[in-house]
């Protein structure tokens, strides 16, 4: 048995895992964390109009959600996003859906966005992040991936990051409604207790 070769192979394997760990750690540090101030954006909606957060009137905050057409998880959450918007838009927290896969996934292109929004009758804006700069700025990695923002004196504060709730497969089996709880707390003038939850969904298809 050649112990030198075994030792060398093990050393190389450890090095590979170490590099992978460092890369993952570096990647996780990108984007916003709870408490950060988010910047505004100006993205094209499915109706062809440009939309910014500042341009939305009578709002107290936003339920910014990175999502898409093709992802099975995104599809499972579409009705829940519609429900969130219907529940909170009039109270000042509209859903703002953003698709980061417009140029990287055929089923997520702009024409398909229009079709999907019409089919599901989205009551919220559905924006195209073609260069993926907004997804990168926020640190989104999944579809769906939610960022609840509050608006205070014109500044946007990140209040919650992560999943919509605790059951991606079935709305009927949800026991923890993370986004609903976060927005309810903000509307009541209270602090959000559950500030983060791991986003569950398809990986964003990044440009190479």
Convert the pLDDT of each residue in 135-166 to its tens digit: 999 999 999 999 999 999 889 999 999 999 99
Spell out the long-range contacts of 130-137 with Cβ–Cβ below 8 A and sequence spacing 24 or more.
Answer: 130/44, 130/102, 130/103, 132/100, 132/104, 132/204, 132/206, 132/207, 134/41, 134/43, 134/98, 134/100, 135/66, 135/98, 135/100, 135/204, 136/30, 136/31, 137/31, 137/32, 137/39, 137/41
Q: How far apart are CA 95 and CA 74, in angstroms?
A: 14
pLDDT of residue 49: 98
Q: What is the structure's pLDDT at 23?
A: 32
Mean pLDDT value of segment 170-186 = 98
Residue-level pLDDT at 30: 82
Task: Examine the pLDDT at 2 and tell me if it is beyond 90.
Answer: no
pLDDT at 75 over 70: yes
3-state SS assignment for residue 180: helix
Residue 3 scores a pLDDT above 70: no
What are the C-alpha distances in Å from 193 to residues 128, 139, 148, 179, 201? 31, 21, 13, 11, 23
At residue 24, the pLDDT reads 34
Residue-wise pLDDT tens digits, 97-124: 999 999 999 999 999 999 999 999 999 9
Mean pLDDT rounded to a whole number for the chain: 89
The residue ranking higher by pLDDT, 16 or 45, is 45
Entry pTM:
0.86
Helix-helix angle 178-187:72-88, to 10 degrees: 20
Q: What is the pLDDT of residue 154?
A: 86
Q: What percent of the chain lies above the pLDDT cut of 70?
A: 86
């Amino acid at each position: 048995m050649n112990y030198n070769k075994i030792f060398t192979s093990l050393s190389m394997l450890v090095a590979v895992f170490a590099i992978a760990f460092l890369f993952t750690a570096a990647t996780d540090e990108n984007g916003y964390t709870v408490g950060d101030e988010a910047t505004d954006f100006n993205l094209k909606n499915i109706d062809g109009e440009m939309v910014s957060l500042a341009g939305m009137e009578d709002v107290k905050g936003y339920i910014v959600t990175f999502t898409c057409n093709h992802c099975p998880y995104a599809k499972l959450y579409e009705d829940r996003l519609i429900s969130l918007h219907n529940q909170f838009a009039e109270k000042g927290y509209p859903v703002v859906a953003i698709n980061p896969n417009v140029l990287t996934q055929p089923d997520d292109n702009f024409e398909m966005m229009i079709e999907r929004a019409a089919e599901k009758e989205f009551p919220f804006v559905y924006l195209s992040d073609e260069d993926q700069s907004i997804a990168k700025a926020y640190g989104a990695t999944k579809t769906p991936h939610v960022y609840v923002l509050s608006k205070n004196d014109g500044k946007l504060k990140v209040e919650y990051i992560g999943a919509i709730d605790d059951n991606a497969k079935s709305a009927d089996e949800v026991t923890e409604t993370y986004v609903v709880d976060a927005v309810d707390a903000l509307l009541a003038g209270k602090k959000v207790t559950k500030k983060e939850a791991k986003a569950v969904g398809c990986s964003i298809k990044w440009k190479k």
